[in-house]
């Protein structure tokens, strides 16, 4: 089965760091860019950033709201992508999703994880 599974969410104090993981199975992980998207309580979807695959230099891009605080990385040998979140703020409280985008076919974000909740509060 093709799937993505996020982990690492939880309750954390403002200013601290947290790393989320996105584990892939059922497909060739190295053929896809990995994107991270979040949804704060009662809000819409917000794209956070992506990392392309090795063939595209593993280049990254980020939303302005998280640039300089969040870092996306990947380990193709382990089929895992990461979202390192630093200097967390209360407004980072959200459900965090990882999702894939084919770098070859560009057919939208077709597979999503179930999401992991991050609560930033003192």
Return residues touching other proteins (CB under 8 A): 35, 37, 39, 44-47, 49-50, 61-64, 97, 99, 101, 106-110, 112-115
Nearer to other proteins, 13 or 59 (CB): 59
Nearer to other proteins, 36 or 82 (CB): 36
Determine whether 20 is exposed, middle or buried from the number of CB atoms within 10 Å of its CB (0-12, 13-18, 19+).
Answer: buried
CB of 77 to other proteins, least distance (A): 26
* CA count, 13 A, side-chain hemisphere, 44: 2
CB of 99 to other proteins, least distance (A): 8
CA distance 117 to 1: 24
Nearer to other proteins, 23 or 39 (CB): 39
CB of 122 to other proteins, least distance (A): 27
The pair of structure tokens assigned to 89 is: 């703020």
Residues in contact with 71: Cβ distance below 8 Å, sequence separation at least 6, in sequence order: 60, 82, 83, 84, 86
Nearer to other proteins, 16 or 81 (CB): 81
CB of 95 to other proteins, least distance (A): 9
Sign of the Cα pseudo-torsion (43, 40, 67, 108, in order): negative
Classified as helix, coil or strand, 4 is strand
């Amino acid at each position: 089965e093709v799937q993505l599974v996020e982990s690492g969410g939880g309750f954390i104090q403002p200013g601290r760091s947290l790393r989320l993981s996105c584990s892939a199975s059922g497909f060739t992980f190295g053929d896809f860019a990995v994107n991270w998207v979040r949804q704060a309580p009662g809000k819409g979807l917000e794209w956070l950033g992506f990392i392309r695959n090795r063939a595209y230099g593993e280049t990254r891009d980020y939303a302005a709201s998280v640039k300089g605080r969040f870092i996306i990385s990947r380990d193709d040998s382990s089929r895992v992508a990461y979202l390192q979140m630093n200097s967390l703020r209360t407004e980072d409280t959200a459900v965090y999703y990882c999702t894939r985008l084919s770098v070859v076919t560009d057919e939208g974000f077709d597979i999503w994880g179930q999401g992991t909740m991050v609560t930033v509060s003192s």
